[in-house]
Amino acid sequence: MTKLSVNINKIATIRNARGGNNPDVVKIAKDCERFGAEGITVHPRPDERHIRKSDVLALKDVVTTEFNIEGYPDDRFMSILEEVRPIQATLVPDPPGVLTSNAGWNIDANQKFLVDIIRKIQDLGIRTSIFVEPDVESIVQAHEVGADRVELYTEPYASTYILDKTNAIKPFVIAATKARELGIGLNAGHDLDLQNLKHLKENIPWLDEVSIGHALICDALYLGLENTIQLYLRQLQ
């Protein structure tokens, strides 16, 4: 079974645009779980342009499914992990100020850093996942630095799916197969939506988790949050 983790960053973006607490990030997280989501993902960036550290702390004792905190593992991020102890930490190579996560780790260039960070996170009892490009070399290197899982960066798949879904999925199947051979857990995320999610799942049925935020929240504007979550879950069945 592939779990659906709802990224609620966009909810916080809407709230922050106006101030106050509408929409309520904590209530939305609880509702997402009530509507069937099997995880909640947040990305507390240093500039707090969407999810704030205070949100993460408020969610700590509220989220009853898998809580996934993603971000660049600097001192601030590590202190949040130590205080919150989520089930999973997803490490992304985002420098400060980047708009969104748009590339996987260059693991070879950051090997010692990642080995040390992953060990520290695992010592906290937290599962580690590394955001990677869909290629065999990255999967092998993620295994070498000790990651529990990889998260495949799926924007290249999403951007070419409409033109040629057969070729779009090929490198992801190859990378996913290598992850399974090495015994690494497998997540996926970035630009997944109601159009392309089912094809991904059909070709990589052993996916552990997908993290979806932007497209899901956009769909919810038209379809309603509860209905949208159910539609996404249906693509994963």
Q: Is the dihedral of CA 27, 31, 33, 34 positive or negative?
A: positive
Those residues with Cβ within 8 angstroms of residue 123's Cβ, 6 or more apart along the chain or in another chain: none
In this structure, what token pair is assigned to residue 45?
A: 């960036």
In this structure, what token pair is assigned to residue 68?
A: 């996934």
DSSP 43: -
Q: Omega before 134 cis (within 30°)?
A: no
Q: Please report where in the chains the tokens 């509220």 appear, as a residue.
A: 62
Residues with active-site annotation: 43, 70, 190
Closest CA to 15 of 51, 44, 42: 51
